[in-house]
Structure 1
Amino acid sequence: MALDFDLLGDPIPEGFGKRGRPVHTPTDEKRRLVIQLMAFDWSVEQISAALSITPPTLRKHYFRELKSRAEARFRVEAKLITALMTEAEAGNVSAIDKYFKRFEKHDTRVPKSAQGKAPKAQPLGKKEEADRLAKTAHENSSWGQLVN
């Protein structure tokens, strides 16, 4: 039995053109696509439209991929870093440059407290600020000598 394919390269399911909607069959390629789109903050409605399925069908077949947007982003970024490292090890100069730029970008995201600098002081609330100003109002004025 020969498989027929539609214009996008997906196999045409058996019973296509008959009553009812054709059965959706998830593939590894579609799972990767869902992860990619989740990494770019696409909504469930947008992803289901891209796959030509309804949102409930998307949730039914791709619940693991929809679990966490942050996880999807980390997985995609990890694959990109792995691909960059593979290309850099092969001697690709452009990949080496991009790999070092990622290191520089990462180093700028490290919190200043982790780099050995003092942490930033918490801002005072309205009452604490008013109290501090009341206690130091006499400083640097002609009244300073009288208060002391």
Structure 2
Amino acid sequence: MADQNSGDKPDLDMFGNKVLPIRDRRGRPSFKKDKDNQDFVVVRVAAGWTHKRIAEDMGVDEKTLRKHFSRELENGAVFVDGLMLDVLFKRVREGHTPSIRQLRERLAEAGPMAPRNKPAELEDDEDAEEKAAPIGKKEQRLQDAQVIPDDYGDIFAKMGRRH
């Protein structure tokens, strides 16, 4: 019995196989998402690469790419364009003349922006009524039930004070 617990022999299970550690990592190591990988995907999406091509270049499966980088795959071009505008605007603040011209051209191409957060007072009532979705029968009944009729009065007055 003393030799069963000695540290000299490798640990064996009841079938005689070597006992493996609990966290045995077999197969492909799990993927680690980091900022460099995100930038890598964003730039390639903005350049028009397919998901398959990006996954091959990264050395991962397409499913792994979609799982970890869904946001980047969907909005990559927007991220890159925004980043370029940020850099351009920083150069404009520094007084870089070619950047000023380039930013003006970009803004002229964009055209006038639609007004955002328009106050409710400025909206036309007619437009609001046209945009209102039609309501169903149940909703109409609920709204009608909230309206108090003019002839509604004291219930005792209708009973003729019989009690």
Q: TM-score with structure 1 length normalisation?
A: 0.51
Q: Which residue of 1 is the match for residue 110 of structure 2? A: 106
* Structure 1 residue 49, shift from structure 2 partner: 1.2
AA of the residue aligned to 1:56: K
Please give the alpha-carbon distance, in whole angstroms, between the structure 1 residues aligned to 2:76 and 2:26.
36
Instruction: Pick from 9, 17, 20 the counterpart of residue 27 of structure 2.
Output: 20
The alignment status of 1:90 with 2:98, answered yes or no, reads: no
Q: Which runs of 4+ in 1 moved over 4 A?
A: none
AA of the residue aligned to 1:38: V
Q: Which residue of 2 is the match for residue 77 of structure 1? A: 81
> Is the 8 Å Cα contact of residues 41 and 76 (structure 2) preserved in structure 1?
no
Task: Give the alignment's Cα RMSD to 1 decimal.
Answer: 2.4
Q: Which residue of 2 is the match for residue 60 of structure 1? A: 67
Provide Cα deviations, 1:23-47, integer angstroms capped at 9, x if missing partner.
3211111112212222222111011
CA 60–106 in structure 1, closer or farther in 2 if over 3 Å, else same = closer
| Pair member with larger Rg | 2
AA of the residue aligned to 2:39: R
Provide Cα deviations, 1:19-78, integer angstroms capped at 9, x if missing partner.
633332111111122122222221110110121111122122222322x2xx32222211
Q: Which residue of 2 is the match for residue 35 of structure 1? A: 42
> Is the 8 Å Cα contact of residues 38 and 69 (structure 2) preserved in structure 1?
yes
* Structure 1 residue 106, shift from structure 2 partner: 2.4
Local SS of the residue matching 1:65: helix
